[in-house]
Structure 1
Amino acid sequence: MSETTVNRRVLLAWLGSWGAPMLAQAQAPLLAKNAPAGIDPAPYLVSEKLDGVRALWDGATLRFRSGRAVAAPAWFLAALPQTPLDGELWMGRRRFDELSGAVRRAEPVDAEWRRIHYRVFELPAGEGTFAQRADKLKALASDIVVPVEQQRFTSNAALRAKLKQVVDAGGEGLMLHRADAPLASGRSDLLLKLKPLADAEAVVVGHEAGKGRFKGQLGALELQTPEGVRFKLGTGLSDAQRRDPPPIGATVTYRYRDVTPAGKPRFASFVRVADQF
């Protein structure tokens, strides 16, 4: 499945909740590419890369990237503004598994949702540059809606120092969004992610049986990237994931050091099932 097809499906799923008056302004989610190591951060606004679940609010319904509605408590939804928002549901650093379990329940548990905030970073129906839209988000802050802090850095050294600070504190990395960017959708150079190791997403297209101590379990996932490159991934999987592996068709996130001339990732390691739900 091509990335264009995936983006189109996400856009169609998302547009279904907007209503005719908003169709002309609606945008599919913007997705990040990996930042080059020596990037000049001056043209960007920089924020922490949150270990959360992407959520899109259209003024009436909160949805995952897949377009499926999030079963959030009524009080949580009532606290959101009528303004469409793009952001992440977040519990804190290193709490993705706990968060994922909470937001995927068909019946929300209030005690779990009291620990969740909606960290927002985009106005999907807004106007102007990203810097202008990010500034407008500040007026929407509440106990539940928390605009993501954006910072400027003038040198790569300062950016790297910030990356180290975030990672040492348990964060994933940084996001760099062109300050002058208009609204955009799909995977774009306008939005970059900077992490100690690069990461990417791929679709599960097969399961390879395990051998030796993994006999009777999963040995490796066969994955296909949006560019059509296929490779096997057996590192980073837990025993539970080997017994009950991500199904064919699922999108997973993996980390890697670099790529071969054929486009296959080197030293790839499984991270988790992607947060599309």
Structure 2
Amino acid sequence: MSDNKTLNRRVLLAWLGSLGAPAFALEPLLAKNAPMGIDPRAYLVSEKLDGVRALWDGTTLRFRSGRTVSAPAWFLAGLLKTPLDGELWMGRRSFDVLSGIVRRAEPVDAEWRRVRYRVFELPAGEGTFEQRADRLKALAGEVVQPVEQQRVASNAELRAKLKQIVDAGGEGLMLHRADAPLASGRSDLLLKLKLLADAEAVVVGHEPGKGRFAGQLGALELQTPEGVRFKLGTGFTEAQRRDPPPVGAMVTYRYRDLTPAGKPRFASFVRVADDF
């Protein structure tokens, strides 16, 4: 994260704290990449939803950044008074449409009728993750839909489940330590398993395009949280090359593996990260 984004988040955290907003509204638990050979027996496994992360503190629904989600009153009324962590979701392969819906300053009621809040954590809950997941089941309703968590007995079974999800248009799997206490930040208590790994990095520069991309973006210069810099030149739409993510933006990219220097191999742009 860039120094400016870190500072902005700290300022926002202090401001929200003065209003009584909980810290988890800004610092949810974030996943690390899981190795393909992982033994899943210590985890609860669920589908990785390609939605927009949102946190409900009992009165206000916020994005990861702390900004308020402008959802219709009927949608918020369906969220109860229990703090929740989850994703706004409307089905597989629909992120771009969903993103447009939930980012509008004035919500369109008919659009929001297609959105559900798929929840996977009780930010004010106690006990292990498995115990908290069990308590979530009692909160199911028209708007709130708990994410199904399953035990998986072996790596072979895990790989088969991953293939099934991906073949059906899903993103991958999430593995959450069943015995995990509440936690925040990037942690190996929560892992994501995909055929291709993904990660986030900050835009620190733009390289101009050449040839058919002349006058447009050629590549983004990115910096990872570990300080590794690399150029990302594939995966962009024509519109994104004309109007690329600005310096300071956090973007998500997909890659196969890492070089010894920590640079991603065969990296491709996915989107601006959902830290709205």
The interval holding the TM-score normalised by the smaller chain is over 0.9
How far the C-alpha of 1:9 sits from its partner, in A, is: 2.7
Secondary structure in 2 matching 1:259: coil
Question: Match for residue 13 of structure 1?
Answer: 13
Aligned residues: 275
**1:117 and 1:64 mapped to 2: Cα distance?**
15
Secondary structure in 1 matching 2:41: coil
- The TM-score with structure 2 as length reference comes to 0.94
Taking the TM superposition and a 5 Å limit, the aligned residue runs for 1:190-229 are: 190-229=189-228
**2:24 and 2:262 mapped to 1: Cα distance?**
36
How far the C-alpha of 1:221 sits from its partner, in A, is: 0.5
How far the C-alpha of 1:11 sits from its partner, in A, is: 10
RMSD of Structure 2 on Structure 1 (CA): 2.2
Taking the TM superposition and a 5 Å limit, the aligned residue runs for 1:155-194 are: 155-194=154-193
* Structure 2 contact 89–115 (Cα < 8 Å) conserved: yes
Question: Match for residue 61 of structure 1?
Answer: 60
Question: Match for residue 50 of structure 2?
Answer: 51
Deviations 1:156-192 (A, max 9, x none): 0000000000000000000000000000010000000
**1:62 and 1:188 mapped to 2: Cα distance?**
23
Taking the TM superposition and a 5 Å limit, the aligned residue runs for 1:26-41 are: 28-41=27-40
Unaligned runs of 5+ in 1: none
- The TM-score with structure 1 as length reference comes to 0.94
How far the C-alpha of 1:212 sits from its partner, in A, is: 0.5
**1:14 and 1:59 mapped to 2: Cα distance?**
19
Deviations 1:186-230 (A, max 9, x none): 000000000000000001111110000000000000111011111
* Structure 1 contact 17–61 (Cα < 8 Å) conserved: no
Question: Match for residue 146 of structure 2?
Answer: 147
| Structure 2 CA distance for partners of 1:156 and 1:10, relative to 1, 3 Å | farther
How far the C-alpha of 1:62 sits from its partner, in A, is: 0.3
Unaligned runs of 5+ in 2: none
Pairing 1:90–2:85 present: no
Pairing 1:129–2:128 present: yes
How far the C-alpha of 1:16 sits from its partner, in A, is: 1.5
Amino acid at match of 2:98: L
Deviations 1:59-81 (A, max 9, x none): 01000000000000111111111
